[in-house]
Structure 1
Amino acid sequence: MKEVVETSAAPAAIGPYSQATTFGNLVITSGQIPLNAQGELVPGGVAEQTEQVLQNLRAVLAAAGTDLERVVKTTVFLADMNEFAAMNAVYEQHFQPPYPARSTVQVARLPRDVRVEIEVMAERH
């Protein structure tokens, strides 16, 4: 059975979607962008934005009963692939081996013109 995950520790959904859903032991998050829990865009470049996105993901996963250590797949959307190294430097501070599988793509535009959006799939404890 599918369950909806919601937490006030991450920005609320701004459309017809959930912060995350669960299906059995699988947690699938919606893409998180660098908004704080009050829905305000964090200042800074891709490094600061990546940090906020990962903090949001941490909060959503905690609400689902899991954490970043149990992430099996990530998808990273970048506004500019030239910012990959800066994003990756922050990303690798949050994940330990064995690393989750990952896809990273450059996109034409992201919501609110942010630099990065990340979604994950994780196993629930």
Structure 2
Amino acid sequence: MKEVINTSKAPQAIGPYSQAIKVNGFLFVSGQIGINPQTGELVPGGVEAQIKQAMENIRQILSAAGMEFSHVVKTTIFITNMDDFTAVNKIYSEYFGKVFPARSCIAVASLPKGALVEVEVVACK
């Protein structure tokens, strides 16, 4: 049975999707961009601020499902400029312990709301 995970501590969906779906011990978190959940707007400060906010949004969704970053097994990062790869990696890596999840990083032409980076995760508990 699948369960919809939703929290007001992360941005509400801006399209026809759920923040996350939990099924058979897995949590599939929709892509998160650097939206401040209180304002509904992208945070100022460029890619560093946006990746940090996206990861904090993911933290809140994981928490709503009774999980944390140690449960993440796969991530996908979408980035609009590969020149930001190092900056994104630096902040992203701070959210995980010694064991990093499997990951893909894909350059894209654009993201919703003009975001510079988007992160989706799959977690398992």
TM class, shorter-length: over 0.9
Q: CA offsets, 1:74-125, max 9 Å, x none? A: 000001011000000101111112110000010011001111000000013x
Counterparts of 1:1-125 in structure 2 under 5 Å? 1-38=1-38, 39-124=40-125
Gaps of 5+ in 2: none
- TM-score, normalised to structure 1, is 0.97
Look up the equivalent residue of 2:58 and give its one-letter code: L
Give RMSD over aligned pairs: 0.7
In structure 2, distance between residues paired with 1:72 and 1:100: 5
Instruction: Compare 37-46 and 80-89 and name the one that shifted more.
Output: 37-46
TM-score, normalization by structure 2: 0.97
Q: Which runs of 4+ in 1 moved over 2 A?
A: none
User: In the aligned structure 2, how far is the partner of 1:3 from the partner of 1:67?
Assistant: 17
Name the SS of the counterpart of 2:32 in structure 1: coil
Q: CA deviation at 1:63?
A: 0.4
Cα distance between partner residues in 2 of 1:48 and 1:15: 23
Letter matched to residue 95 of structure 2: H
SS at 2:59 equivalent = helix
Structure 1: segments with no counterpart, 5+ residues? none
Cα distance in structure 1, aligned partners of 2:92 and 2:99:
14
Percent of aligned pairs with the same amino acid: 51
